[in-house]
Amino acid sequence: MKLFSQLNTPNTRKISASESSKWTDQRVEVIIGNLLRLGVIIAAAVAFLGGIFFLFTHGVERPDYRFFNGEPSPLRSIGGVISEVFSLHSKGVIQLGLLLLILTPIARVAFSIFAFLEEKDHLYVVVTLIVLMFLLFSLSGGKL
Amino acid sequence: MNYLELTAIIGGGAFIAGLLGALTGLGGGVVIVPLLALALGVDIRYAIGASLIAVIATSSGAAAAYVKEGYSNIRIGMFLEIATTLGALGGAFLAGILSTKIIAVIFGIVLIYSSYLSSKPKENHSDNIQSDPLAVRLRMSSSYPTSNGMKEYTVHNVGTGFGLMGLAGVLSGLLGIGSGAVKVLAMDHAMRLPFKVSTTTSNFMIGVTAAASAGVYLNRGYIDPGLAMPVMLGVLAGSLFGARVLMIARVKALRIVFGIVILAMGIEMIYNGLAGKI
């Protein structure tokens, strides 16, 4: 991967520090932008397929959303959703799509850590790690 | 109503919300909750869960288009995300404690404020006065492309901006919205960033902030696949379509109409909250 090969040869750069930082910022942003778009496309495709499957099998059922019961526990965690998908439950497939969507911005933050490492910007490596920590804490359901 | 009918109605409503959100720049997420809770009688907790999903979808979907223009400032964005993600976690926990009536009233107030903000023209508060010392330490100053080449800008009141961003995060986690209105206060008014920089940086942050509360909502069982699927797909399709027709639409008239719709929804949310109907 280009990103890492550059990491080992910083002395070959001829442009000034601020220019190179700017240039890397822009390049990394474009990579991250495409990563986000890809994440959204995959998530939407999975949710769409799950949705078609779900409407075929449960379309005529009448849900009641006026009263809050909460989702059954398999749809509440990453492990649960994955096992629902393997049991071919349509709701599990939709939920996987939603989960992939939630993971997309988290992947963006994780990727930014490498970008700041490459720029040797240790202050922002720490800042980004803090943000990532909050995100992972949330994903675990606030039970670390 | 069965799932097929519900999916068609919600998908259509979400498409219009996404379209209007993209055309007016006000974000479609803010109308998803009133749409589900007021028009379809969905419990507000399910509505908020579905809305968070819509917010992540539009933010991440638009980011790819924004980055190419070189406006967004990832250092400012990442630093302020400490405040928004922490606030969002707090908001998500608050959502589990507060009664749905109080949540509805707070939602109504935010809607009315957003509507007021949409009626005012966007101002550029950017200048070249020396940056806040904290902003210098955090290397936040940068430049952005204009028609006259690259323009430098400085950054002010980092502490106030950080605090307001924490509030934006709390509201985002509590109400399942992008909190664009509060982010404008923080970045345009307090930190005095150029309008284009603040808009694109804020869009970059919205998805990350929403993801910080979405995890908690998922674990609590607030995210229902039958509701979130048509909301996500509808809003995504609407906002992508909106970005395409942006050039030909009469945005000014639309902003006024959408502002009035948001105001009406805000009043109804407060009324229903106080009357105990939510």
Which tens digit of pLDDT belongs to each residue from A11-56?
444 444 455 555 666 777 778 778 888 999 999 999 999 999 999 9
The reply to whether A10 falls in a domain is no
* ipTM, two decimals: 0.91
The reply to whether A13 falls in a domain is no
The reply to whether A76 falls in a domain is yes
Residue A122 in this model has a pLDDT that exceeds 80:
yes
Q: Which of B203, B210, B165 is nearest to A33 (CA)?
A: B203
A49 at interface of B, judged by CB pairs closer than 8 A:
no
- What range defines the domain where residue A115 resides? 23-139
- What range defines the domain where residue B152 resides? 3-274
A24 at interface of B, judged by CB pairs closer than 8 A:
no
Contacts of residue B41, defined as CB under 8 A and 6 or more positions apart, other chains included, come to A65, A66
* Among the partner residues A40, A134, A140, nearest to B60 by beta-carbon distance: A40
The reply to whether A116 falls in a domain is yes
d(CA B78, CA A109): 8
Question: How many domains are contained in chain A?
Answer: 1
A32 contacts in chain B (CB < 8 Å): 63, 67
Structure tokens at B29: 């997420």
Q: What's the gap in Å between the CA of A12 and the closest CA on chain B?
A: 24
Query: Which amino acid would we find at residue B245?
Result: V
CB contact residues (below 8 A), chain B span 218-257, against chain A: 218-230, 232-233, 236
pLDDT of the residue at B249: 63
Please state at what angle helix A90-118 crosses helix B225-245, rounded to 10 degrees. 50
Residues of chain B with pLDDT under 50: none
What is the interface size between A and B, counted as CB pairs within 8 Å? 210
SS3 B221: coil
Question: How many domains are contained in chain B?
Answer: 1
d(CA B70, CA B72): 6
Contact A141 B221 (CB under 8 A): no
SS3 B249: coil
Which tens digit of pLDDT belongs to each residue from A60-108?
999 989 888 899 988 999 989 999 999 999 999 999 999 999 999 999 8
pLDDT band at A8 (very low <50, low <70, confident <90, very high): very low
Mean pLDDT, rounded, of chain B: 88
SS3 A32: helix
Q: What's the gap in Å between the CA of A4 and the closest CA on chain B?
A: 20
* Among the partner residues A101, A104, A112, nearest to B74 by beta-carbon distance: A112
B80 at interface of A, judged by CB pairs closer than 8 A:
no
Q: What's the gap in Å between the CA of B65 and the closest CA on chain A?
A: 8
